[in-house]
Amino acid sequence: MAGCAIAIGACANVCSEAAKGIFQEIKRHMRYVFVYKKNVDKFEGKMKLLIAKRQSVQLEVVTAKRNVEEIKPHVQQWCDKVDEAINEDVKKVKDLEDKAKNKCFFDLCPNIKYRYQLSKKAEGAAAAVDELRQHGVELGSVGYRNVREVPEAPKNFRAFDSRKEICDRVIEALKDSTTSMIGVYGTGGVGKTTLVNEVARRVQEDKLFGWVAKATVTRTPDIKNIQYEIAESLGLKLNETESGGERARLLLKRLKEEQQRVLVVLDDIWASLDLQQVGIPLGDQHKGCKILLTSRNRDILTNQMDAKKAFVIDVLKETESWDLFKRTVENHFEDSELRSVATEVAKKCEGLPVAIVTVATALRNQPIYAWNDANLQLQRPSPSNFTGIPHAVYSAIQFSYNNLESEELRQTFLLCCLLGHNARTEDLVRYGLGLRSFENVNKVEDTRNRVLTLVRKLKAFCLLRDSYSDDRFDMHDFDCDVALAIASRDNHAFALKHKGVFDDWPDEERMRNFKMFSLSFDSVEKLPHELECPLLDFFSMGSKDFDVEMPAKFFEKMKNLKVLDLLKMKFSSINLPTSLRALCLNQCVLGDMINLGKLKNLEIFSLFRCSSVTLPKEIGQLTKLRLLDLSNCHKLIISAGVLSSLSKLEELSIGTSFVEWDLGSNARLAELKDLSGLTTLDVCIPDADIVLKDLFSEKLRRYNIVIGSETGWYERIEYSRILKLKVGTSIDNLGDGVLRLLKETEALYLEGPEGVKIALNNREGFLHLKHLHIEGASEIQYIMNDTAAVDRIAFQQLRSLKLVFLPELISFCSKNKSGGSTSTPQHESALFGEEMDFPCLEDLSLRFINVERIWHNQFSIRSGCTQTLTNLSITGCNNLKHLLSFSMAKSLTHLKSFDVVGCKCLREIIFTEDIEEDMISQIFPKLEVLQLHELPNLTRFYRGSNCEFPLLEKLIIRDCPTFETFISKTTVVNEIHIIPSKWPSLKRMMVYGCNKVEIFASENLLSFGESTNQQPLFWVNEVTFPNLEELTLSGNDIMKEIWHGQLRAECDEGKRCIVFTRLKYLKLSCLPTLASFCLGDQIFEFPALENMIVTACPKMKIFCRGDLSTPQLRKVISKEKRWGIDWEGKEEGWWEVDLKTTVKWMFENKIAYCDVRLSDTSELMKIWSRNPQEILTFKYLEKLEVDDCSTLRFLFTLSMALGLPQLRELIVKNCIVMEHIIIEEGSD
| Same domain, residue pair 102 and 230 | no
Q: Mean pLDDT, to the nearest integer, of 229-241?
A: 80
Q: Look at residue 79 and tell me whether its pLDDT is greater than 70.
A: yes
Residue 28 is part of which domain span? 22-144
- In angstroms, the Cα distances linking 293 to 82, 154, 229, 541, 953 are 50, 18, 15, 43, 31
Average pLDDT of span 766-788: 84
The residue among 320, 483, 325 whose CA lies nearest residue 397 is: 483
Which residue from 754, 745, 670, 674 is spatially nearest to 708, judged by alpha carbons? 754
DSSP 8-class letter at 696: S
Pinpoint the alpha helices (H) of 639-750. Answer: 736-744
**Quick one: pLDDT at residue 715?**
67
Does this model's pTM top 0.75? My answer is no
Q: Is the dihedral of CA 1161, 1163, 1164, 1169 positive or negative?
A: positive
* pLDDT score for 819: 40
Same domain? For 133 and 204 the reply is no
Q: pLDDT category, 1197, cuts 50, 70, 90?
A: confident
Predicted pLDDT of residue 595: 72
Residue 168 forms part of a structural domain: yes
- pLDDT tens readout for residues 503-536: 677 888 888 889 998 887 655 667 888 888 999 9
The reply to whether 54 falls in a domain is yes
Integer Cα distance of 522 and 164 in angstroms = 39
Helix (H, G, I), strand (E, B) or coil at 77: helix
pLDDT digits (tens, 9 = 90+) for 945-972: 667 788 899 999 999 999 988 887 655 4
- Point out the least confidently predicted range of 113-117, 240-244, 686-690, 1211-1215: 113-117
Rounded CA-CA distance 1180/1095 in Å is: 13
Average pLDDT (583-612) is 87
**Which CATH number covers residue 263?**
3.40.50.300
Q: Are residues 768 and 828 in the same domain?
A: yes
Collapsing DSSP to helix, strand or coil, 813 comes out as: strand
638 in Cβ contact with 667 (< 8 Å): yes
Report CA torsion sign: 545, 551, 553, 558: negative
Nearest to 1189 by CA among 1207, 1206, 1209, 1172: 1172
- Per the CB < 8 A criterion, the answer to whether 1057 and 1083 are in contact is yes
The mean pLDDT value of the chain amounts to 80
Q: What is the Cα 758 distance to its own chain's centre?
A: 42
Asked whether residue 634 is assigned to any structural domain, the reply reads no
Q: Give the 3-state DSSP-derived string for 845-884, with helices as H, strands as E and coil as C.
A: EEEEECCCEEECCCCCCCHHHCCCCCEEEEECCCCCCEEE
In a domain, 129, yes or no: yes
Is 840 inside a domain boundary? Answer: yes
Q: Are residues 115 and 175 in the same domain?
A: no
In a domain, 1059, yes or no: no
Domain end, chosen from 114, 144, 174, is at: 144
Q: Looking at 314, 338, 368, which one is the last position of a domain?
A: 314
Cα separation of 931 and 917, whole Å?
23
Q: What is the pLDDT of residue 620?
A: 85
125 lies in the same domain as 177: no
Strands of 997-1101, DSSP E: 999-1002, 1018-1019, 1030-1034, 1041-1044, 1057-1059, 1065-1069, 1083-1085, 1091-1095
Q: Which residue has the higher pLDDT, 213 or 50?
A: 213
CB count in 10 Å sphere of residue 1098: 18
Both 304 and 175 in one domain: the answer is yes
- Model confidence band, residue 974 (pLDDT cutoffs 50, 70, 90): very low
Q: In which band, very low, low, confident or very high, does the pLDDT at 1032 lie, cut at 50, 70 and 90?
A: very high
Write a three-state SS string for 173-201.
Answer: HHHCCCCCEEEEECCCCCCHHHHHHHHHH
- Statement to judge: residues 33 and 139 lie in one domain: yes
Over residues 264-322, the pLDDT tens digits come to: 999 889 888 988 888 888 776 767 788 999 998 888 898 888 888 899 988 888 888 88
Q: Are residues 113 and 190 in the same domain?
A: no
Would you state the pLDDT for residue 398?
A: 73
Total structural domains within the chain: 4
Does residue 1174 sit within a domain? Answer: yes
pLDDT over 80 (residue 1074): yes
Q: Which of 852, 869, 886 is the last residue of a domain?
A: 869
Mean of the pLDDT values across residues 859-872?
Answer: 67
Q: State residue 976's pLDDT score.
A: 45
User: Do residue 46 and residue 136 come from a single domain?
Assistant: yes
Same domain, 52 and 176: no
Q: Is residue 393 predicted with pLDDT exceeding 80?
A: no
pLDDT more than 70, % of the chain: 79
Q: Are residues 113 and 188 in the same domain?
A: no
> Does 371 map to a domain?
no
Higher-scoring residue by pLDDT: 3, 1187: 1187
Task: Identify whether residues 767 and 828 lie together within a single domain.
Answer: yes
Contacts of 777 (CB under 8 A, 6+ apart): 750, 751, 752, 753, 754, 756, 759, 805, 806
Residues found in the chain: 1228
At 81-140, the pLDDT tens digits run 888 877 776 666 665 555 555 555 445 455 555 566 666 667 777 777 777 777 777 777
Start-to-end CA distance of the chain, whole Å, equals: 162
**What proportion of the chain, given as a percentage, has pLDDT over 90?**
21
Cβ-based neighbour number of residue 801 at 10 Å: 21
Decide which of 451 and 1159 is more confident: 451
What pLDDT, on the 0 to 100 scale, is given for residue 820?
A: 44
Does residue 1190 register a pLDDT over 80?
Answer: no
Phi and psi at 236, nearest 5°, equal -100, 125
